[in-house]
Amino acid sequence: MLVATSLCVALPSAAQELISADRPGIADSSTVVGPKTLQVEAGIERDSHPDLITTPLLVRYGLTKQLELRFETAGWAHAGGHDGLAPASLGVKYHFLDQPSLGVIARVFPPSGSGIFKSHETDADVRLAADKDLSEQWSVEGNLGVAHADHDNFATAAATLQYNFSPKVNVFIDAGATSSPSSLIVDAGAAWIIGKDLQLDVSAGWGAHGEAPDRFVAAGIARRF
């Protein structure tokens, strides 16, 4: 399942110093972490049909005001009595425009992982990410990209609609789709920021079409250092 985790659209100007995480959700934001800033985003997800447990992890490090390095993996995985490590990716995010907020995210998945989850080929994807404030409470973000995986090339898309109860509390609904295999995933959730550098989140979703899990639930944490 090619899913990118995110809940990171532009917040009101008074809250720009608050942590901005790429989880939970499907679409990733266009913004990057600050220079010399390390941000770790981790969680646990349970999918049904197929029954799968994963521990997604995203590590982000800011090189400049516009560029960050990214390490991403579904982490430890358990399915059908089998345990192992999921494949990992190395990538970058480059934020190149402020209004509207636009960025590019590129990832390479070298052969990695273990057990039944081990990959043997090099895969990759690239996405354009965009954010837009509709009002002080409402915002949207979207991703549009192409990917190469399992000897196949396909298109990907994701969109998030977010409502901010306050700069530190928000809820969202989003959807993600791939062209091959054809799939559509929908999920919803909430995030809470504690202080300035810590975020907690919960979410749940379902496969609305094609090759996607029937249902999934997730919880996570993001911490900026």
| Cβ neighbours for 29, distance < 8 A, ≥ 6 positions apart | 6, 8, 9, 20, 22, 101, 103, 129, 131, 141
Between strands 52-54 and 38-48, the pairing is antiparallel
Q: Per residue in 13-45, pLDDT tens?
A: 333 599 999 999 999 999 999 999 999 999 999
Q: Which of 42, 46, 63 is nearest to 204 (CA)?
A: 46
Spatial CA neighbour of 163 closest among 190, 142, 123: 190
- 3 band by pLDDT with thresholds 50, 70 and 90: very low
| CATH architecture label of 13-224 | Beta Barrel (2.40)
Domain range summary for the chain, segments of one domain joined by +: 13-224
**Tens digits of residue pLDDT in 183-193:** 999 999 999 99
What's the whole-number mean pLDDT along residues 194-216? 93
Average pLDDT, the chain: 92
212-222 per-residue burial string, b: 16 or more CB within 10 A, e: under 16 = bbeebebebbb
pLDDT at 49: 79
Assess whether the previous peptide bond of 213 is cis (omega < 30° from 0): no
DSSP reduced 3-state for 14: helix
Give buried/exposed letters for 139-163 (b at 16+ CB in 10 A, else e).
bbbbbebebbbeeeebebbbbbbbe
- 96's CB contacts (< 8 A; 6+ apart) are 66, 102, 103, 104
Q: Is the pLDDT of residue 210 over 90?
A: no
Contact 79, 51 (CB under 8 A): yes
Give the residue among 33, 118, 43 at the shortest CA–CA distance from 70.
33
Cβ neighbours of residue 50 under 8 Å, at least 6 residues apart? 79, 80, 213
| Ranges 4-18, 47-61, 137-151, 175-189: which has the least confidence | 4-18
Amino acid at 216: F
pLDDT at 1: 38
Query: Cα–Cα distance between 208 and 185 in angstroms, integer?
Result: 6
Strand, coil or helix: what is 46?
A: strand
Q: Tell me, what's the pLDDT at 8?
A: 39
